[in-house]
Structure 1
């Protein structure tokens, strides 16, 4: 895309037409006369004009590439909701053994980088992670980079394929930056839990094996990787039973909001 800064209103059709006419008059009438009188000057003018346009285009491309990616906020003691999709939205995570490999990578990443895993949900074509970074731990970008790169390497090795696995950079939102982070986090956990229900993968959040919602309803639940209860969940009550009971109220509000009918099994 070429930038022409000498055009002040490029969207005006009249201005575009007058610009074309002026350029044609310049090429047909004035350029031959200038070449006869000042041949070297005209050649120098065209040379400088080409350099100018090329430099403007390069500067614009650098600016566009830098502005296309938003800056990451990477600070300790923040809770991130991470989402990342498979290449071309393919269902490359559909098989159970593939989801199990991802859970294992997630467990190894937790041991390696010492972050708090608040929740997760593995879908057929994308993933959801809720990660809380700690003071002496790694930044969120390094954590997610390790998880995605390691899993893509393992998946290609198991399936014998080549090429990228993930579609794009991961997307993130920070719980503490929400209008009401306390309610947003508890709502977010139910959003992850109901994702398979909305996609008709199961009839109930508890039926989806590769989700962490059970860890918030059963105290000794095993969801494949240790789950760290967020401080907002802990504030719901003094005992786990009291917290789980109040946490279920957010599930009821979530179902009413989205008019979901589910079967609890």
Structure 2
């Protein structure tokens, strides 16, 4: 049975997750991380894909990307950068075979500030949840420092949802720090993970209805199990 095409709508960001096969490491050192980011940014630049947030963990990456005007722009950028990185990694580390755990996962993200910022926070708090750092700004391989106003990462395209946090860079950084300090609620944690795994549309009901009408597909990541029994009046 052929796979369904990925959910893609021009101008709508996607939460992208790329994992190592069998949960294996995809980065051995910072040289690998630099190379991955260089290849990814080159491919995104060629395809006019905007990167809003990222984190590189030892065996997986999370990205918040908005595709370019060409329908397959994001898929092309991920395919080219992924293939080039595997070739590089195998040569450098004297290995053969696949590196990625199948296709990367992607889910549409509601463009409302509530949902975009929730996904950004989820991405940038990954190292904190993994107990690698106490402060997300201390983790070098994420976009947290940029959004906290501590560094400037020219690889990133600032999302309008983030710009709405303040009148200038300093105010936005302080507001975003408070947002990070609130942490990701258990409900958001479950929803973001579930929607990414099932590759649906993370957002409000109106957004999900728009996606379903536009793409002619179910946009909701439903919980497992039987639907609840609704008794008649």
Q: Give the TM-score taking structure 2 as reference length.
A: 0.72
Unmatched segments (≥5 aa) in structure 1: 1-64, 259-265
1:199 maps onto 2:130 in alignment:
yes
1:190 maps onto 2:124 in alignment:
no
Task: Please report how far the alpha carbon of residue 78 of structure 1 lies from its aligned counterpart in structure 2 after TM superposition.
Answer: 1.4
SS at the partner of 2:183? helix
1:209 maps onto 2:126 in alignment:
no
Task: Please report how far the alpha carbon of residue 171 of structure 1 lies from its aligned counterpart in structure 2 after TM superposition.
Answer: 0.8
1:240 maps to which of 141, 147, 169: 169
The question of whether the paired residues in 2 share the 8 Å contact of 1:120 and 1:129 is answered with: yes
Task: Please report how far the alpha carbon of residue 137 of structure 1 lies from its aligned counterpart in structure 2 after TM superposition.
Answer: 7.8
Matches within 5 A, 1:37-52: none
CA RMSD of aligned residues (A): 2.1
Q: 1:162 — aligned with what?
A: 96
1:218 maps onto 2:152 in alignment:
no
Q: How many residues align?
A: 186
Matches within 5 A, 1:22-33: none
2:9 maps to which of 75, 80, 88: 75
Gap change, CA 1:149 and 1:191, over 3 Å in 2: same
Unmatched segments (≥5 aa) in structure 2: 187-233
Q: Give the structure with higher Rg (CA).
A: 1
Q: 2:52 — aligned with what?
A: 118
**Structure 2: distance between partners of 1:214 and 1:70:** 37
**Structure 1: distance between partners of 2:119 and 2:144:** 11
**Structure 1: distance between partners of 2:172 and 2:131:** 29
Determine which structure has the larger helix proportion and give its number: 1
Alpha-carbon displacement from aligned partner over 1:153-209 (angstroms, at most 9, x marks no partner): 1111211211111011111111127xxx32121121121111112112223212211
Alpha-carbon displacement from aligned partner over 1:39-76 (angstroms, at most 9, x marks no partner): xxxxxxxxxxxxxxxxxxxxxxxxxx33xx44312232
Task: Please report how far the alpha carbon of residue 222 of structure 1 lies from its aligned counterpart in structure 2 after TM superposition.
Answer: 4.1
**Structure 1: distance between partners of 2:35 and 2:73:** 23
Task: Please report how far the alpha carbon of residue 150 of structure 1 lies from its aligned counterpart in structure 2 after TM superposition.
Answer: 1.4
Q: Give the TM-score taking structure 1 as reference length.
A: 0.64
**Structure 1: distance between partners of 2:168 and 2:181:** 21
